[in-house]
Amino acid sequence: MAKKKVYAYLVNGRKGIAETWPECEAIVKGTAGAKFKGFESRIEAEKWLEAGADYGKKHLTAEKGVYFDAGTGPGNGVEVSVTDEKGKSLLKKILPEKELNSKGRQYAPKGATNNYGELLACKYALQIAEKEGAKNIFGDSKLVIDYWSKWMVKKDVALETVKLAKEVSGLRSEFEKKGGRIMRVSGGSNPADLGFHKG
């Protein structure tokens, strides 16, 4: 069952939180300049409104650590993102600047799936955490965190993904032996989130 969301809105100076999308839609529909966004908790929604309903400030309560994500939004292939808790890109700490785009992200190999991009982002997050001495890594991919990075991969997965999963599971094992933790957060609570998914 999907988690229930709440929807923060700002319309003509009036702000509030709707309990359902139809309730929010009735308030914002047809109003020029209306701002609205779905959240998994009232606290996140309230903080977004307090910050001026700024779409650029979507992660206001992130715990200190390394965050990772991947997405396919702009149509140039899968983008890989690894940031700190404030959304600042960390990929330049381990990759040459020429491999990064103007937003400090890297494109996964041509033809890569989004899940492969998430796994690659997890690898980079582990490498950055090792280099920087970080103990907490966060991502929003259940598949990568609960399975692939633990070397639990189905037989029908592409060979490149299998090889990467094996490498990532080794890095994760070493990271956890030293007291590191990899935890799941929602896309709405992930500063590395590329925002290319619905909701």
Q: Are 10 and 51 in contact (CB under 8 A)?
A: no
pLDDT-derived band at 148 (thresholds 50, 70, 90) equals: very high
How far are the Cα atoms of 43, 45, 46, 81 from residue 71, in angstroms, in the given order?
26, 23, 27, 8
Report strand pairing: 6-11 vs 66-71.
unpaired
Instruction: Please state the rounded mean pLDDT for residues 134-161.
Output: 95
User: What's the CA dihedral at 124, 129, 135, 136 to 10 degrees?
Assistant: -40
Give the C-alpha separation, 105 to 70, whole Å.
9
Say what the pLDDT of residue 150 is: 97
Q: What is the pLDDT of residues 7-53, one digit of tens each?
A: 999 998 899 999 999 999 999 998 888 888 888 778 778 877 877 77
Give the C-alpha separation, 105 to 117, whole Å.
11
Residue 116 has pLDDT above 80, yes or no: yes
The count of other CB atoms within 10 Å of the CB of residue 74 is: 11
CA atoms within 13 A on the CB side of 123: 21
Instruction: Please state the rounded mean pLDDT for residues 89-112.
Output: 94
What average pLDDT does the structure give for the chain? 88
Give the C-alpha separation, 14 to 31, whole Å.
12
Say what the pLDDT of residue 131 is: 96
55-64, 78-87, 151-160: segment of lowest average pLDDT = 55-64
Give the C-alpha separation, 115 to 35, whole Å.
31
Residue 198 has pLDDT above 50, yes or no: no
Rg from Cα positions in the chain: 18
3-17, 101-115, 152-166: segment of lowest average pLDDT = 3-17
